[in-house]
C-alpha cells in the first residue's frame, strides 16, 4: 500500500477524527506538552498507533513546509471517481452544491479552496487530472482538515463530466471577467456547480463553452482581478447566502 506524510495539527487531527485507520505513525516535536498534544497522544494510544517525540530536525527531514511540530505517516487515501460522486449525490437526496476548479495548479490555492468549500457545505470539489494541483501534504496543511471532509474528484475529461452533470440537472455557473452578468444576478439556490478558472488565464475554452451561465465579480478599485482562492470564497459565500435564504 502506498504511503504519504501529512503535517500540521489541523490536518493530523482531521485524519484522526475522519479516517483513523489510515494513521501508521506520528512524530511530535520535543518541548510541546499542552492540552492539544495530550489529547492527540491519548487518542493515538487508544487506537494503538505508534507515536514518538523527536527533535525538530527529524520532522524537517520528512516534510518541507511549516509542520507546526507534528508529522504523521498515513496510508494513501482512495481517490474518488466520477461514479463515486454521482452515487453519493444520488444517495444524499439534496440539491448538488459543487465546486469545479479548472487549471488551479498552486497547492496553496487548492488547499484554501477546499477549506472554504468545507465551510459553506460544498459536497465535492472537481478538478481535471491534468493541469491541476494534486492532494499533496501542502494542500492538506493549507486546507486545515478540509481535505479529509470534502471529496476531491479528479476527472479525466472535465468538459465531458460537465455534460454529465448538466444532464443530471446541475446548473453550471462559470466566472469570467468579460461576463455581462454579475455574481449577484445569478441564482445559486438549486442544483449548481460553481466553475472557477486558473488565476490569469481563467477557464479553458471547452470548460467555458460548457457553462450555462457566465458571471463576474464586481470590481470597484484599480485592481482588475482577485486571487482564485479569494474569488472562490466570494462566490461560494454568495451561493451559501442564497441557499440559506
Over residues 45-61, the mean pLDDT reads 91
Annotated binding site for S-adenosyl-L-methionine: 197, 217, 226
* Residue 135 sits in the same domain as residue 225: yes
* Residue 67 sits in the same domain as residue 86: no
* Residue 97 sits in the same domain as residue 56: no
Annotated binding site: 197, 217, 226
* Residue 9 sits in the same domain as residue 130: no
* Residue 18 sits in the same domain as residue 64: yes
Single residue among 75, 109, 138 that ends a domain in this structure: 75
Over residues 47-51, the mean pLDDT reads 93
* Residue 98 sits in the same domain as residue 60: no
Residue range 138-182, pLDDT digits in tens: 898 899 888 888 999 999 999 999 999 999 999 999 999 889 999
* Residue 37 sits in the same domain as residue 89: no
Pick the closest to residue 9 from 67, 76, 73 (CA basis): 67
> Is the pLDDT score of 1 beyond 50?
no
Note down the domain range covering 8: 3-75
Single residue among 33, 60, 75 that ends a domain in this structure: 75
Q: The domain spanning residue 63 has which CATH number?
A: 3.30.1330.30
Average pLDDT of the chain, as a whole number: 91
Residue range 215-245, pLDDT digits in tens: 999 999 888 889 999 999 999 999 999 999 8
Q: Count of domains in the chain?
A: 2
Single residue among 58, 75, 92 that ends a domain in this structure: 75
* Residue 210 sits in the same domain as residue 107: yes
* Residue 26 sits in the same domain as residue 97: no
* Residue 166 sits in the same domain as residue 206: yes
pTM of the model: 0.83
Amino acid at each position: 500500500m502506498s504511503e504519504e506524510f501529512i503535517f500540521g495539527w489541523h490536518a493530523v487531527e482531521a485524519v484522526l477524527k475522519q479516517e483513523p485507520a489510515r494513521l501508521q505513525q506520528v512524530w511530535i516535536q520535543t518541548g510541546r506538552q499542552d492540552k492539544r498534544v495530550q489529547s492527540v497522544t491519548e487518542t493515538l494510544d487508544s487506537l494503538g498507533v505508534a507515536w514518538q517525540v523527536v527533535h525538530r530536525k527529524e520532522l524537517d527531514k520528512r516534510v518541507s513546509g511549516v509542520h507546526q511540530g507534528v508529522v504523521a505517516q498515513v496510508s494513501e487515501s482512495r481517490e474518488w471517481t466520477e461514479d463515486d460522486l454521482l452515487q453519493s449525490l444520488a444517495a444524499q437526496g439534496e440539491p448538488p452544491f459543487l465546486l469545479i476548479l479548472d487549471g488551479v495548479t498552486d497547492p496553496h490555492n487548492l488547499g484554501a479552496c477546499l477549506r472554504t468549500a468545507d465551510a459553506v457545505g460544498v459536497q465535492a470539489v472537481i478538478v481535471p487530472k491534468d493541469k491541476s494541483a494534486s492532494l499533496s501534504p501542502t494542500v492538506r496543511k493549507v486546507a486545515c482538515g478540509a481535505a479529509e471532509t470534502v471529496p476531491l474528484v479528479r476527472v479525466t475529461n472535465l468538459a465531458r463530466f460537465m455534460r454529465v452533470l448538466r444532464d443530471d440537472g446541475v446548473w453550471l455557473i462559470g466566472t469570467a471577467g468579460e461576463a455581462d452578468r454579475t455574481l449577484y444576478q445569478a441564482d445559486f439556490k438549486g442544483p449548481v456547480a460553481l466553475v472557477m478558472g486558473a488565476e490569469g488565464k481563467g477557464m479553458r475554452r471547452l470548460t467555458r463553452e460548457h457553462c450555462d451561465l457566465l458571471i463576474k465579480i464586481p470590481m470597484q478599485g484599480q485592481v482588475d482581478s482577485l486571487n482564485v482562492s479569494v474569488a472562490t470564497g466570494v462566490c461560494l459565500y454568495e451561493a451559501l447566502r442564497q441557499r440559506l435564504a
